[in-house]
Amino acid sequence: MIVATTVAIGGMGLVCGVALAMAARFLAVHEDPRVEELTEILPGANCGGCGFAGCGEYAKAIIVDGAEVTLCAPGGAEILDNIAAFMGVEAEAGEKHVAIVLCGGDNAKAPRRFDYNGVADCNAAHAVDGGDKKCNHGCLGYGSCARACPVEAIEITGTGIAVVHPELCIGCRKCVKTCPRFIIEMVPESQATHVFCSSKDKGPIVKKACQVGCIGCRLCVKFGGESFEMDGFLARRNYETPIEDEDTVIDKCPGDCIVRQEKSAAG
Ligand code: SF4
Ligand code: SF4
């Protein structure tokens, strides 16, 4: 009896083993070897800035699905050239874009409404009655963006606001996706003058919440022409048109929210 059972179990094991081996052979998915080669060409940052889970997934998307070859911002022009050469296509790199936090209201200029004692995370803080800051649009300063940044390009200053060091930014956009206030934008690297405010509230409301907010007076449009445009009560830079007289525009802004960002020592 014992012998018969052992033989039966052994036989079943043998059959299953053969079935599995055949399945492995016939059902195996053979990956195009170019995926691995192209992965080697990509920077290996695995930052997800291209919109895929990592460099390997992006390589696969290019080879298998014909994804655009221009999506790897951290790789810059050199990597783009290499990808294009590998794929036998032509592609031209646009100007590199870097992140910028469009808020200048630090703790000295934009007060808090209440003491927030929860976990030090911007999404958590934002979930508590829209955040502790009087301005509903201002940077909360709990550093979710800084923690998301793979290259430590974002600093939370001693006065409680996030500042990007553009020299360090690789353009992966992780911070943009992380910020619950939607105040981080990608801007052309060559541009240094920005409207450091994201509040679309009317002037009187802005004034009550922040000393350096945009009050929607349109003076920047008057003196800066098409290099600025209004989004409701909020002035925004039109980066396609250079500012002819930056000093005048900065000087005329009564909200003091148009600022030329100096190059930091971080780079
Ligand atoms: S920019 Fe956004 S994510 Fe970064 S600290 Fe400010 S509120 Fe938080
Ligand atoms: S600041 Fe950091 S997270 Fe944001 S785009 Fe630049 S590298 Fe990426």
The domain spanning residue 106 has which CATH number? 3.30.70.20
State the Cα–Cα distance between residues 137 and 53, nearest whole angstrom: 30
> What is the average per-residue pLDDT within 86-115?
94
pLDDT, tens digit, 9 for 90 and up, residues 188-239? 999 999 999 999 999 999 999 999 999 999 999 999 999 999 999 999 999 9
Same domain, 101 and 219: yes
Same domain, 75 and 121: no
Ligand nearest to the CA of residue 163, numbered in listed order:
1
Q: How many domains does the chain have?
A: 2
Band of pLDDT at residue 266, cut at 50, 70 and 90: very low
pLDDT number for residue 267 = 43
Ligand nearest to the CA of residue 164, numbered in listed order:
2
Task: Report whether pLDDT(148) > 50.
Answer: yes
pLDDT number for residue 12 = 64
Same domain, 212 and 112: yes
Residues 172, 133, 262, 219: what is their CA dihedral angle, to the nearest 10 degrees? Answer: 110
pLDDT number for residue 13 = 63
State the Cα–Cα distance between residues 51 and 172, nearest whole angstrom: 9
pLDDT number for residue 45 = 87
Q: Whose CA is nearest to atom 3 of ligand 2?
A: 149
Same domain, 236 and 203: yes
Q: Which domain holds residue 200?
A: 97-260
Residue 62 CA: distances (Å) to CA of 47, 49, 75, 85, 186 = 17, 15, 15, 13, 24
Q: Is residue 240 in a domain?
A: yes
Residue 24: helix, strand or coil by DSSP?
Answer: helix
Same domain, 244 and 117: yes
Residues 180, 183, 186, 190: what is their CA dihedral angle, to the nearest 10 degrees? Answer: -150
CA 211 to centroid of ligand 1, rounded, Å? 19
| Nearest-atom index, ligand 2, CA of 148 | 3
Same domain, 128 and 52: no
pTM reported for the whole predicted model: 0.80
CA 149 to centroid of ligand 2, rounded, Å? 5
CA 215 to centroid of ligand 2, rounded, Å? 29
Band of pLDDT at residue 15, cut at 50, 70 and 90: low
Burial category of 252 from C-beta neighbours within 10 Å (exposed 0-12, middle 13-18, buried 19 and up) = middle
Same domain, 199 and 103: yes
Q: Whose CA is nearest to atom 4 of ligand 1?
A: 145
Residues lining ligand 1, Cβ inside 6 A: 101, 122, 139-145, 162, 178-179, 181, 183-184
Same domain, 70 and 154: no
The more confident residue out of 17 and 179 is 179
Mean pLDDT of the chain: 90
pLDDT, tens digit, 9 for 90 and up, residues 154-173? 999 999 999 999 999 999 99
pLDDT number for residue 14 = 62
Task: Report whether pLDDT(129) > 60.
Answer: yes
Q: Is residue 246 in a domain?
A: yes
